[in-house]
Amino acid sequence: ESKTQRPDAASKKFLSNNIKSSNPNYRIQRELKEFLKSPPPGLSVKISGKNVRLWVITLSMPENTVYAGETYKLRVQFPNDYPTSPPSVYFLPPTPRHEHVYTNGDICLSLLGKDWRPIMTAQSVAQAIFSILCGAQRKSLPMDNSRHAGNKPGQKQDDWVYHDDNC
């Protein structure tokens, strides 16, 4: 059962603005309000400093998982054409050892690329990532981790080949 999350100072200030629906940040403000009002179990969100288009979502892993008691942070950057394009989402260090998470923080998830739809939200993406971590049977790196490990995280996933369309 989730409870309302208390907004941090930056979130509170952003939410106090009366943003018109024509403003590009209107959708982001609505999403933040909804996330804070009904945060999914194990997830919390903060705005990073004064940049309303940069969120940090904390994943607190439940006891019945291989990541029991561990905490991870996702960096979520909303592009100027959001929600037409997906947000850039990747793990900040330390990254979980998971077959769909590269050591640079990138996440092999088609929702962040070819399967993104404008009806999706940052919260729904975070929930999908939380879910794939919760479902892991063991901690392991992706097969092609060495190819991605040195890359800057959070780049567009336009040309990615996804290992598992079920994740």
The answer to whether position 89 is within a domain reads yes
Question: 18 pLDDT band (50/70/90 cuts)?
Answer: confident
Domain count for the chain, please give it: 1
Residue 165: pLDDT band (50, 70, 90) is very low
Asked if the structure places residue 2 within a domain, the reply is no
* 105 part of a folded domain: yes
Q: What is the pTM of this model?
A: 0.85
Q: Is residue 78 one of the residues assigned to a domain?
A: yes
Query: Does the residue 157 lie in any domain?
Result: no
Q: Is residue 57 part of a domain?
A: yes
Q: Is residue 166 part of a domain?
A: no
Indicate whether 124 belongs to any domain: yes
Averaged pLDDT, 17-27: 82
CATH number at residue 137: 3.10.110.10
pLDDT band at 153 (very low <50, low <70, confident <90, very high): confident
Q: Which residues form the domain of 44?
A: 9-148
Q: Where in the sequence numbering do the catalytic residues fall?
A: 108
pLDDT digits (tens, 9 = 90+) for 49-68: 888 999 999 999 999 999 99
**What does the pLDDT read at residue 166?**
39
Q: Starting at the edge strand that comes first in sequence, how are the strands of the sheet with 71-77 ordered?
A: 43-48, 51-60, 71-77, 88-91
- Report the percent of the chain where pLDDT is more than 70: 92
Q: Is the peptide bond between 83 and the residue preceding it cis, with omega within 30 degrees of 0?
A: yes
Mean local confidence (pLDDT), 126-143 = 96
